[in-house]
Amino acid sequence: MTRPRLVLLDRDGVLNRDRADYVKSPAELEMIPGSAAAVARLNAAGIAVALCTNQSAVGRGIIDAGMLERIHDRLRDELARAGARLDAIHACPDAPGQRSTHRKPAPGMLLDAMRRFRVAGHDATMVGDSLRDLEAALAAGAARVLVRTGHGAATQAAGLPPGLLPVAVHEDLAAAVDALLGAGR
């Protein structure tokens, strides 16, 4: 895998702990150890970082768009403490079952980010913890990385469909970033 120009990140299970009851407030956002420092390493390497996250809690009426923005403000603050930043945030509020070109596994958010940074699929890598993250990456032409945090271990244990391969698998975002940055040496 070559060093990407753009890294696309899922949120829940990659940057912060996934909650079965959704992250409903800034206080419920709990970072995965090492994830903010991993984003800082991508920033320092000159690689653009875009969040591409399904946030169906909005579409389900559990939280509103304003609360999602406050949660993302908290995420930005947590990242900034480690000297890290997101260059873009793409969040799809659609509920499951809604027709959507942006809710993963559809590639809309990834394609939007790739257009924004003028990056083709072969120069982008998606890091996620679910099959839908990998499917969206494949549809967008991006490289695929599965982390074992969040739902990643269960996703790997269930078996990755041959059509999605190759998929690099790493313990967490920090290990994935180690591999991505090592690829360009």
Give the Cα separation of 155 and 43 in Å (integer).
28
Q: Spell out the residues 6+ positions from residue 7 whose beta carbon is closer than 8 angstroms to its own.
A: 42, 47, 48, 49, 50, 124, 125, 126, 127, 177, 180
Is 73 considered catalytic here? no
Secondary structure letter of residue 2 according to DSSP:
P
Is 12 considered catalytic here? yes
Catalytically annotated residue among 12, 94, 133, 172: 12
Catalytically annotated residue among 10, 123, 129, 172: 10
Extract the tokens encoding 17.
């702990």
The residues annotated with a catalytic role in the active site are 10, 12
